[in-house]
Amino acid sequence: IIISLLLTVSVVFLANSETFIEKVNVLIKTHKRILAAKDTIKSVEEQVSVARKSWFPELSSTAFYGYEKRNLAPGNRNTSMPPHEVDLSITQPILDFGAKSSALDIAKLQLSQSKLALDATLQGVLLEAISAQVTLISAIEIERYAKRSVSNIKQQAKLEDARVSIGSGFSTDVLQAKAQLAGAEARYTLSKGARSSSENRYRSVFGSLPERNQKLEQLAIPVDRLPTSIDVAVSRSLKNNAQVKALTVARDTARAAIKQTRAAEFSPTVNLILDTKYKHNVSGTSGNAYEHLIKGELKYTFNLGATSFNNLAAVKANYFASVNRLMDAQNLVEEQARNAYEQLKITQRNAKFLRNQANISGEFLRLARKERRLGRRSLLDVLSGETVEINASSDATNAENQVIVAAYSMLFVMGDLKVEDIKIEDQK
């Protein structure tokens, strides 16, 4: 029992001691969305094999057994016997004027599109994992600030109670401290709710939560992978964005469909056919009979309602639709790239200003507490400083984490987000 318990503890410890990169590597191998995309690729690969094998000969067979009674004209002998027959036919396609080759091209393009869908899914899951990690770290830090604020204000309230008890303080100061404490506790409650939501998101992405005593790895900004200008961001996005690449392939697929439809609807097919038949008691002829036939066949089918023209018009319209969808996607991706780049720059500047504000607020609070003990600063100054300091620290922490998410979101928009691009901040 002891050995089993030790093994269980060891397994749990190892699972919880996984690095973020290790968790991500497991995630991209087990995430249901990614597995579904991989299964789609397998399905399309089979369709490519089917299209490639369409030039192989086809074997068809027909057999029957029955009872035949023939009443012939006067002077001929009527017959009544059980006939049976087996027919075998091999059809080898010779020429179809591009229908089968176009179908193969379409299947290959669909395979490329499914691979692009897998890449887009991988990048989407990566961004979700990064966002879940960073958001949880931010929520934990903000909760810690709020908890510390409650503790500090409680301590200040005790000091004010002590002042009143010895006659050097005011009851109004105690009430003011308690009012400030109620506000701090409200912020602490909200921070716990935000942490709970972040944990739910983390659990949804990774399947489980990290241990409470496990220090989460903070991610660093992949500076070397970020665009140097907004023009570079737009150029890389239009070239590598998964949505643009997928719609480009969709346009090429629609173009190939026009070629296939034109060949299938307006061109004949040429086949080589080999037939062999075994007959017994067929058509009133008693006994066995064998027939063998080899022939070339030219076949063309045309619907007299001219549906061939409708089919061709349909695939042409679909092609123009795919062109318009691609152009619209390019416009949207350019907008996303510009917004992502501007958002990254704005969050970087905002985080810098907020961190500076937090540092100044912290220094003010430290001096205000010292001066309060010396009687040179009012309680209101200390309590206001406490509120400003906790809000500034929380805002700075949140802004700094937003910069990290914005940086990886920029890579996602550009279609360049990969596991090897994830950077871990050096642990101090």
Q: pLDDT tens-digit profile of 94-111? A: 999 999 999 999 999 999
pLDDT class of 310 with cuts at 50, 70, 90:
very high
Does residue 14 register a pLDDT over 50?
no
Q: 131-140, 158-167, 317-326: which has the minimum mean pLDDT?
A: 158-167
When mean pLDDT is compared across 53-57, 73-77, 258-262, 354-358, the lowest value belongs to: 73-77
Q: DSSP for 80-121?
A: EE--EEEEEEEEEEEE-TTHHHHHHHHHHHHHHHHHHHHHHH
Coil vs helix vs strand at 208: coil
Three-state secondary-structure class, residue 289: strand
CA distance 400 to 197: 19
Average pLDDT over residues 358-377: 81
- Split at pLDDT 50, 70, 90, the class of 48 is very high
* 90 phi, psi to nearest 5 deg: -115, 125
Q: What are phi and psi of 395, to 5 degrees?
A: -65, -40
pLDDT band at 426 (very low <50, low <70, confident <90, very high): confident
pLDDT at residue 280, rounded to an integer: 87
Task: Choose between 236 and 10: higher pLDDT.
Answer: 236
* Residue ranges covered by each domain of the chain: 21-69+80-424
Residue 293, phi then psi, degrees to nearest 5: -145, 135
pLDDT (mean) for 79-101: 91
pLDDT surpassing 50 at residue 10: no
CA distance 427 to 69: 95
60 and 238 Cβ atoms separated by less than 8 Å: no
Alpha-carbon gap, residue 411 to 423, rounded angstroms: 13
In 10 A of CB 235, how many CB atoms? Answer: 15
In CATH terms, the fold of domain 21-69+80-424 is Outer membrane efflux proteins (OEP) (1.20.1600)
Provide the 8-state DSSP code for 54: G
Instruction: Read off the pLDDT of each residue in 35-47 and give the average, rounded to a whole number.
Output: 96
Angle subtended at Cα 179 by Cα 175 and Cα 181, rounded to the nearest 5 degrees = 115
DSSP string, 118-166: HHHHHHHHHHHHHHHHHHHHHHHHHHHHHHHHHHHHHHHHHHHHHHHHT
Average pLDDT, the chain: 87
pLDDT band at 406 (very low <50, low <70, confident <90, very high): very high
Burial pattern 24-39, b for ≥16 Cβ within 10 A else e, equals beebeeebeebeebbe
pTM listed for this prediction: 0.81
Between CA 249 and CA 255 the distance in angstroms is 10
298: pLDDT strictly greater than 50: yes
Instruction: Determine the Cα–Cα distance for residues 46 and 52; give it in Å rounded to an integer.
Output: 10
**Mean pLDDT lowest among 65-74, 272-281, 348-357:** 65-74
CA angle, residues 375, 377, 381, in degrees to nearest 5: 145
Closest CA to 170 of 384, 369, 372: 372
CB-based contact 44:239 (threshold 8 Å)? no
Distance between first and last Cα of the chain: 40
Mean pLDDT of 114-125: 95
Q: Report the SS3 class of residue 420.
A: helix
| Type of residue at 65 | Y
Mean pLDDT, residues 187-193: 91
Beta bridge partners of 89: 60, 275
